A and B are shown apart, each in its own frame.
Chain A
């Protein structure tokens, strides 16, 4: 146990930073930028400290903080992290720095507000990953919508009003069902405390209803087919930083919800409806892959590719029931869950990097049309090298992070059912198809216009941001062991928990 509330600091420090940045005001953008950078860097440093404080061996939830919050309804401010949460928090803090650095001189208008929104997002997202109380989780889960709403609404593209409304209503719609489910759980168990709920014996019928109420919320957030259509629109209209946070972190909130709620609280319903999630995941991988192939807009293409990649996450999570409960192969079940989480982290890096790349191009030519670009290899050779690297990571090339999770999920799903693995492995082809076709059109060939031929090479700041992403992508691809080791006990505990039926 640490003596100071490290998790609370991680959540509220960026929020405090946001207030200071707001106080800096519109007149002093330089101060706002440096202040934001300082706060994100300090937050990241503390998250690393937390990483070293965490003991992988025993696993479980550590660094817990519990304060009475609203005693009347038996809810508490309960924080704690296991290996999965630690990994996601470090990812959040890391990406936040890059988002602030990436927006540096790109955002000219109301810098302080933009930076403050980013800092608030940073803190709230960390809050989601720490929360061990269902109501607290819900609070953070909903609260992240607000800064995101402003980010898209204020700094977004021409159709930002449509996109923000769609984004907000869509996700809020999902949350309503989630809230109802939450209240029902409280009604039955008398508490919002997650550890209690994990062990609470809900009946099969209750579990089924709750499963769908949670599914709607998390499926929208993840997003899963068919409730994914808000994502391409939101991405297209969002500013670069918003897209990066959205793709890299916010999508993980949905799948994290599955890990914290659906899987452990409703193991029997999850088992019963696993086939549905598996089918939806496979549809996401193949169907969305084809949709991504024909997108004329780069951001939409990468957004669709995100949906397809999240398909691997949900697949890895729900394949676990076939493996653990029907085949009693705990080893493979762990491989699947572990693969799903690795894919979450990896997708954070890769999609963040890809949206940053698109942002770099958008800053120069102010269009996201693929056909407006070409011959980057000649115009901006260093930038082109980054593009090719991240694109390869997106296709799951070994040696990059994109490979690890997909490989693990495909391996484990083969044991569950070879046909599932076959459809999942189809992403090797379709993923290469849409990503490399994009590369063929923008990186290779020749520039279509004089303007596209005279784009300046990335500057040092952009190089550093992309370089940081590149280091993360390569390090995780070459040596994923530390990440797996971090989560191994937690995943094993989760799988053991799932094994026992509640009914």
Chain B
């Protein structure tokens, strides 16, 4: 059975690991820190598997229990506790598995980094924060985990803290996330306003009472309370899950070391918003308006962010934009009430996107921290394992029939096609055309990296720079390496086993997981009460009638629109980037305005930077110089000045002559008595 102690160990082990690895650095040493962090996460993973088994096959009931009281005011109590149902369980297993893989991979990737132990402390802390988030049984704890993952993300993006770009990206990520969190905390406040509790089970039980309830916000006309709650909470999801227009932090987060790009900025943290909306399905079902917004935002990201991926040359940035696009798919699924499909895609995406990022990291190691794909090419003969696993990841991402991404993404596309809420037509076109874009940028990446001519030179000029050693690589991913761009000291070689084994272990579910899980997850009421869908919204049920098993789905897909469109993308990518690279440049010149718009990422960054960052500083200066120093302090110092000057004048009144004082007293007395007499008469 699932007990409280088991869950405390499950969530607490990575925290203990993080504290030991981070605070007792001297005592445990480098190897010790890595071992402790890995063991703690391995323990979490093992216990997550136990929990999963118990819930699914062991017949354990849903676990919902408070561990301790966090807040108590009057009759309101908010605790820290655990809610473990199947939705939680699937998140637990996914998070801890990917986290474990990344932990192992980190041994190889961060081997020479002086911040090795700090890194392990951070990622173990991240695992703890993420577990806090998914295991929460109330909104407060959700918010705690929500912000803590943001903190760790901040620390990890700025991991190489001597690099200005990393610091900038970290600050940007935190603040953009805070914009989302502001909405989120207001959403929580709105939940408390509506239900007088923050406990999930109590809130969800009362969710149907939201129907018809309104709140007076604008003072003009009443606003649906359900819609307000859902939209505010969704603002939080937009921040954390990098949805348009709060997506700007995610591409920049690639400044962090590659393992965390895989773990935090692809597989787990950024999916927190998806998880949150799925968790809140009883609330979202009450507001078709909010669902439409969710759908439109998600679909927009799915298509337009994918487009940007086509013009990126940094291998990690391509995958980052791919992540934005795939998150858009998940959000779109939520928008059409196909929560299970969103979670399903979250899971498959976690595997294959972590695989792609770790594969990219393996390439980056081999290329001596070169990330520009224009200086790669032909790597397949040097690193066969990375090459093979990257193909698997790419096929899964492009939803090639049979791969895990195929099952999840095709379901989302079909689900959006089935929906009839506002915006679903637009969304359908977005997610459908997004498939073409996905294939195009994915294969572009694959071809530019592993195929074609080698666009780098090996110039072994002896060992002028000492390799290894704790300090030489303090800025490992630094693009300004001592070499000229495109020159390598050694020929690229396959990465060590600690890197390749996680790749292989992630490749397995990337191929397999869809076959075994689609039927129960989507069409078998697997989630039970943890996800709530109104019958009228239930597009998955409609799809379920047409679903006749995985094998037919596999065969029929070869004639389906998504496959044909993806195949077209594959053909275009193959022709352009494998056989006729000159075409890409010609196309870029022909469609220069479009090309420019994409390379500048729709100018969103520029607008935000000038409007909010520089604008904020300008506003601050104006307030400070004009308001504080000028008006308020000016008034105070002015008053002092006036007092000083006037006292110089009044000083002359102090003549020292008795009759002057006597005269003043008499005048004063007369005025006083006259006043009293006058007021007394009235």
- Is A436 a contact of B68 with CB atoms below 8 Å? no
- Is B186 a contact of A421 with CB atoms below 8 Å? yes
- Is A291 a contact of B624 with CB atoms below 8 Å? yes
Given A291-B620, A399-B144, A414-B189, does the pair A330, B175 have CB atoms closer than 8 Å? no
Partner of A433, one of B175, B215, B627: B175
Q: Which residue of B lies closest to A415 (CB)?
A: B193
- Is A287 a contact of B188 with CB atoms below 8 Å? no
- Is B161 a contact of A445 with CB atoms below 8 Å? yes
- Is B620 a contact of A411 with CB atoms below 8 Å? no
CB neighbours of A408 from chain B (8 A): 71, 73
- Is A445 a contact of B190 with CB atoms below 8 Å? no
Cβ-based interface call for B196 (8 A): yes
Q: Which residue of A lies closest to B155 (CB)?
A: A388
Cβ-based interface call for B481 (8 A): no
- Is A331 a contact of B75 with CB atoms below 8 Å? yes
Cβ-based interface call for A166 (8 A): yes
Complex Cα spacing A418 to B231, Å = 14
Complex Cα spacing A326 to B197, Å = 21
Cβ-based interface call for A432 (8 A): yes
CB neighbours of A433 from chain B (8 A): 175, 616
Cβ-based interface call for A30 (8 A): no
CB neighbours of A386 from chain B (8 A): none
Q: Which residue of B lies closest to A230 (CB)?
A: B636
CB neighbours of B181 from chain A (8 A): 428
Contact residues of B between 617 and 652, Cβ < 8 Å to A: 617, 619-621, 623-624, 627-628, 631-633, 635-636, 640
- Is A480 a contact of B620 with CB atoms below 8 Å? no
Main secondary structure of the interface of A (DSSP, over half): helix
Given A229-B636, A294-B617, does the pair A479, B68 have CB atoms closer than 8 Å? yes
CB neighbours of B217 from chain A (8 A): 418-419
CB neighbours of A377 from chain B (8 A): 161
> Can you identify 11 A-B contacts, CB atoms within 8 angstroms?
A170-B636, A227-B632, A229-B628, A290-B624, A413-B189, A418-B186, A428-B185, A436-B154, A437-B171, A484-B72, A488-B73
| 9 closest Cβ pairs, A-B complex | A414-B189, A294-B620, A398-B144, A293-B620, A444-B161, A290-B620, A229-B633, A444-B167, A226-B632
Cβ-based interface call for B456 (8 A): no
Q: Which residue of A lies closest to B625 (CB)?
A: A294
Complex Cα spacing A407 to B186, Å = 10
Given A166-B636, A290-B616, does the pair A331, B171 have CB atoms closer than 8 Å? no
Q: How many residues of A contact B (CB 8 A)?
A: 65
Q: Shortest distance in angstroms between A213's beta carbon and chain B's nearest beta carbon?
A: 18
Main secondary structure of the interface of B (DSSP, over half): helix
Partner of B70, one of A226, A422, A481: A481
- Is B186 a contact of A410 with CB atoms below 8 Å? yes
Q: Contact string, A103-138, partner B, CB cutoff 8 A, digits 1/0?
A: 000000000000000000000000000000000000
- Is B175 a contact of A432 with CB atoms below 8 Å? yes
Cβ-based interface call for B151 (8 A): yes
Please give 14 more A-B residue pairs, beta carbons under 8 A apart, in addition to A330-B74, A414-B192: A166-B636, A294-B620, A334-B74, A335-B73, A398-B148, A410-B186, A415-B193, A422-B186, A425-B182, A429-B179, A444-B167, A444-B170, A446-B162, A481-B68
Q: Which residue of B lies closest to A495 (CB)?
A: B74
- Is B186 a contact of A414 with CB atoms below 8 Å? yes
- Is B161 a contact of A411 with CB atoms below 8 Å? no
Cβ-based interface call for A228 (8 A): yes
Given A229-B628, A397-B147, A481-B72, does the pair A432, B178 have CB atoms closer than 8 Å? yes
Contact residues of B between 134 and 192, Cβ < 8 Å to A: 140, 143-144, 147-148, 151, 154-155, 158, 161-162, 164, 167-168, 170-171, 174-175, 178-179, 181-182, 185-186, 188-190, 192
Contact residues of A between 369 and 428, Cβ < 8 Å to B: 375, 377-378, 388, 392, 395, 397-399, 403-404, 407-408, 410-411, 413-415, 418-419, 421-422, 425-426, 428
B residues engaging A (CB < 8 A)? 68-76, 140, 143-144, 147-148, 151, 154-155, 158, 161-162, 164, 167-168, 170-171, 174-175, 178-179, 181-182, 185-186, 188-190, 192-193, 196, 215, 217, 228, 616-617, 619-621, 623-624, 627-628, 631-633, 635-636, 640
Q: Shortest distance in angstroms between B72's beta carbon and chain A's nearest beta carbon?
A: 6
CB neighbours of A415 from chain B (8 A): 189, 192-193
- Is A445 a contact of B616 with CB atoms below 8 Å? no
A residues engaging B (CB < 8 A)? 166, 169-170, 225-230, 287, 290-295, 330-331, 334-335, 338, 375, 377-378, 388, 392, 395, 397-399, 403-404, 407-408, 410-411, 413-415, 418-419, 421-422, 425-426, 428-430, 432-433, 436-437, 440, 443-446, 479-481, 484-485, 488, 491-492
- Is A331 a contact of B161 with CB atoms below 8 Å? no
Complex Cα spacing A335 to B188, Å = 14
Complex Cα spacing A22 to B598, Å = 73
Complex Cα spacing A287 to B628, Å = 10
Complex Cα spacing A411 to B196, Å = 11
Q: Shortest distance in angstroms between A434's beta carbon and chain B's nearest beta carbon?
A: 8
- Give the one of B154, B168, B182, B636 with max A CB within 10 A: B182
Q: Shortest distance in angstroms between A419's beta carbon and chain B's nearest beta carbon?
A: 7
Q: Which residue of A lies closest to B118 (CB)?
A: A381
Complex Cα spacing A295 to B155, Å = 24
Complex Cα spacing A334 to B72, Å = 10
- Is A480 a contact of B71 with CB atoms below 8 Å? yes
Complex Cα spacing A436 to B620, Å = 16
Complex Cα spacing A184 to B171, Å = 53
Given A377-B161, A479-B70, does the pair A414, B193 have CB atoms closer than 8 Å? yes
CB neighbours of A295 from chain B (8 A): 624
Given A229-B628, A410-B186, does the pair A428, B73 have CB atoms closer than 8 Å? no
- Is A293 a contact of B73 with CB atoms below 8 Å? no
- Give the one of A225, A375, A428, A445 with max B CB within 10 A: A428
- Is A484 a contact of B73 with CB atoms below 8 Å? yes
CB neighbours of A375 from chain B (8 A): 161-162
Q: Shortest distance in angstroms between A3's beta carbon and chain B's nearest beta carbon?
A: 32
Q: Which residue of A lies closest to B633 (CB)?
A: A229
Given A335-B76, A399-B148, A445-B164, does the pair A411, B188 have CB atoms closer than 8 Å? yes
- Is A429 a contact of B175 with CB atoms below 8 Å? yes
CB neighbours of B635 from chain A (8 A): 226
- Is A429 a contact of B178 with CB atoms below 8 Å? yes
Q: Shortest distance in angstroms between A162's beta carbon and chain B's nearest beta carbon?
A: 10
CB neighbours of B228 from chain A (8 A): 418
Complex Cα spacing A29 to B614, Å = 50
CB neighbours of A445 from chain B (8 A): 161-162, 164, 167
CB neighbours of B162 from chain A (8 A): 375, 378, 444-446
Complex Cα spacing A433 to B620, Å = 11
CB neighbours of B154 from chain A (8 A): 436
CB neighbours of B640 from chain A (8 A): 169
CB neighbours of A404 from chain B (8 A): 71
CB neighbours of A378 from chain B (8 A): 161-162
